[in-house]
């Protein structure tokens, strides 16, 4: 729990919202989505139970803001990875997949929250806006050489997200384990992106 001096400083500088999001993320990492309640967050942050209402009207709003923050963190990591990758759609998709898979396996509860919008159904605008930025990054990668593709850009983006998300979900649930492709010797995550790229008719 944060000490009184830390909390008072947060109040003084108007940063209580960030303190509450820090506490929410800590609870999410440790106990999953169900552990993030307004009361538990207030207790973790060391503030009165009524304090979160000054920034988040209810649990939905709190989880929506937390999901937006996580999407923004992913966007930063993806942009950093793309900055060091060749401009081809193949290398770009591999860079995105590597970030998403790595982040999800390192922070499984954060990743699960992003796709559980029922938890912030009444206040999802911030999370959707942040998620759209990530979607558009993938779209920009695939738009670079769209002329060679077999489907529209949006269909390609949805295909890419479906494949990466499906793989991550199976890994998180323990349905499949990390392995190398039996033919190419590449990691399974890398090999399935190659399958997608070839299916889309890209080089």
pLDDT (tens, 9 = 90+) of the chain, 203 residues, equals: 445 444 444 454 468 999 999 999 999 999 999 999 999 999 999 999 889 988 998 998 899 999 999 999 999 999 999 997 766 788 889 999 999 999 999 999 999 999 887 766 666 778 888 889 999 999 988 887 666 677 888 998 999 999 999 999 999 999 999 999 999 999 999 999 999 888 776 65
Task: Report d(CA 106, CA 86) in Å as an integer.
Answer: 26
Q: Is there a contact between 150 and 196 (Cβ–Cβ < 8 Å)?
A: no
Task: Report d(CA 70, CA 78) in Å as an integer.
Answer: 12
Task: Report d(CA 38, CA 163) in Å as an integer.
Answer: 34
Q: Residue 63's Cα: distance from chain center in Å?
A: 13
Confidence at residue 115, expressed as pLDDT on a 0 to 100 scale: 87
pTM metric for this prediction: 0.85
Confidence at residue 120, expressed as pLDDT on a 0 to 100 scale: 65
Query: Could you tell me which residues come within 8 angstroms of residue 127 by beta carbon, excluding any fewer than 6 positions away?
Result: 64, 65, 67, 68, 71, 114, 117, 120
Confidence at residue 1, expressed as pLDDT on a 0 to 100 scale: 46
Rama region for 88: left / alpha / beta (φ>0; ψ in -120 to 50; rest): beta
Confidence at residue 4, expressed as pLDDT on a 0 to 100 scale: 47
Whose tokens are 């944060």? That residue is 2
Task: Report d(CA 25, CA 49) in Å as an integer.
Answer: 17
Confidence at residue 121, expressed as pLDDT on a 0 to 100 scale: 63
Q: Is there a contact between 88 and 146 (Cβ–Cβ < 8 Å)?
A: no
Confidence at residue 118, expressed as pLDDT on a 0 to 100 scale: 75
Whose tokens are 């060091």? That residue is 84
Task: Report d(CA 131, CA 54) in Å as an integer.
Answer: 25
Task: Report d(CA 88, CA 136) in Å as an integer.
Answer: 16
Alpha helix segments (H runs only) across 32-58: 38-45
Query: Could you tell me which residues come within 8 angstroms of residue 43 by beta carbon, excluding any fewer than 6 positions away?
Result: 1, 49
């Amino acid at each position: 729990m944060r000490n009184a001096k830390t909390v008072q400083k947060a109040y003084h500088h108007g940063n209580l919202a960030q303190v509450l999001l820090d506490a929410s993320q800590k609870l999410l990492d440790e106990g999953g989505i169900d552990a993030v309640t307004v009361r538990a967050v207030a207790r973790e942050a060391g503030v009165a139970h009524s304090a979160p209402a000054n920034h988040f009207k209810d649990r939905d709003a709190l989880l929506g803001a937390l999901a937006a923050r996580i999407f923004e963190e992913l966007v930063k990591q993806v942009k950093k990875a793309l900055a060091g990758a060749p401009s081809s759609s193949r290398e770009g998709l591999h860079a995105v997949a590597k970030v998403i898979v790595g982040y999800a396996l390192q922070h499984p509860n954060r990743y699960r929250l992003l796709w559980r919008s029922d938890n912030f159904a009444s206040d999802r605008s911030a999370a959707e806006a942040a998620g759209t930025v990530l979607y558009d990054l993938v779209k920009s990668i695939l738009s670079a050489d769209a002329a060679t593709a077999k489907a529209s850009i949006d269909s390609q983006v949805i295909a890419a997200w479906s494949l990466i998300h499906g793989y991550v979900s199976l890994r998180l649930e323990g349905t499949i384990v990390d392995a190398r492709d039996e033919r190419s010797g590449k990691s399974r995550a890398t090999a399935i992106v190659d399958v997608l790229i070839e299916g889309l008719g890209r080089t």
